[in-house]
Amino acid sequence: MDRLEPVKMENEKLVILDQTLLPGEEKYIALSGVGEICDAIKRLKVRGAPAIGVAAAIGIYASMRESHARDLTAFRSEYMEAHEKIRSARPTAVNLMHAMDRMLGVLERSAAENEGRDGAVENILSALRDEAVNIREEDIAACRAMGEHGLKALGGSRTLLTHCNAGALATAGYGTALSPVYVGQERGIDFRVYADETRPLLQGARLTAWELARAGIDVTLICDNMAGALLKSGAVDAVVVGCDRMAANGDGANKIGTMPLAAAAHQFGVPFYMFVPTTTIDLDTKTGADIVIEQRSGDEITGMWYEKPMAPDGVKTYNPAFDVTPAEFITAVVTERGTAYPPYEKSLKEIAGAR
Ligand code: MRU
């Protein structure tokens, strides 16, 4: 089975696998201009913290390549406008801000080096392109390394429960929490995965179940409210999830529904692993209370996916996209540099302090 490449550069354009069409249709689309890139991020055509960061990096390069600005001042001011728009497309996944800040750093360094030179804009574009390519390649390598470290941390655990989609689709390749499953498969180690469907946007049903089945991995889909009973039954060896932003104390924001899963795992003695590339660790955010949680439209609860509305007209809704799992419920944090254990204030600083 060919490896999924949900976000890539092709013909100097940002190309993504449109995840809103899955599992019905596997369609790649090329995006043009800042408006289309922001819209794709907001509507979750491209989603998952690492994939959003990679898409943003390729996206700003590709959209600036289309710019008609040929002098440095005009180019820079157009760049800053694009930067602000893309950087704020979604608020919780810190990979977006991290990737955009890396790209901005390149713009600034390259602009300073090329001030007053012929071909300044072309040189800056070339430096931006290199950085976007690096960000994508680093993400694939980090995911692969998390698979290796995850396999070690998981020991003999073979039956996993996961929430949302922290697989290949959420990254440039391999995934975070599902990477050990893919790396294991390459080595002849067979995992069984229970996937929470993940209301309201069904990333578990539409994406995790799809990508695991496509890869020939044993996957069983459950509704979110079945996870507690499953954990109590003893059928699950470990819970594996991704993360959108981890604070310095080890509190981790991930898809809404992760926190009660962690609490149930804690209660029933099932190890709970968060897979967190160092680009997702935000040492500037002290605790989970400081993480901004994206609020989304109530239509996702009341009407989406149904042929007719499944709630009374005008009902009030509450639709936070993420929750924060307290560090005390997290058995270990798997990063591309190794696995961190409590106390996280110390271990995360050691592992992610110098990026
Ligand atoms: O709203 P989404 O689909 O972007 O949320 C994705 C998640 O919550 C993932 O678990 C997280 O980004 C980690 S992905 C490797």
290 is catalytic: no
Pocket test for ligand 1, best of 16, 198, 244 (most atoms within 8 A of CB): 244
Q: Is 44 in the pocket of ligand 1 (CB under 6 A)?
A: yes
Q: Which atom of ligand 1 is nearest to the CA of 164?
A: 10
Q: Is 258 in the pocket of ligand 1 (CB under 6 A)?
A: no
Query: Nearest 5 degrees, angle CA 237-CA 239-CA 244?
Result: 165
Taking only the tens of pLDDT, the chain with its 355 residues reads 688 999 999 999 999 999 999 999 999 999 999 999 999 999 999 999 999 999 999 999 999 999 998 899 999 999 999 999 999 999 999 999 999 999 999 999 999 999 888 899 999 999 999 999 999 999 999 999 999 999 999 999 999 999 999 999 999 999 999 999 999 999 999 999 999 999 999 999 999 999 999 999 999 999 999 999 999 999 999 999 999 999 999 999 999 999 999 999 999 999 999 999 999 999 999 999 999 999 999 999 998 988 888 899 999 999 999 999 999 999 999 999 999 999 999 999 999 986 5
Peptide bond preceding 200 in cis form (omega within 30 of 0): yes
Catalytic residue among 244, 251, 282, 323: 244
Alpha carbon of 322 to ligand 1 centroid (Å): 9
CA separation, residue 344 to residues 202, 316, 331 (Å): 31, 38, 10
* Largest Cα span, the chain: 69
User: CA 203 to CA 304: how far, in whole Å?
Assistant: 13
Alpha carbon of 281 to ligand 1 centroid (Å): 14
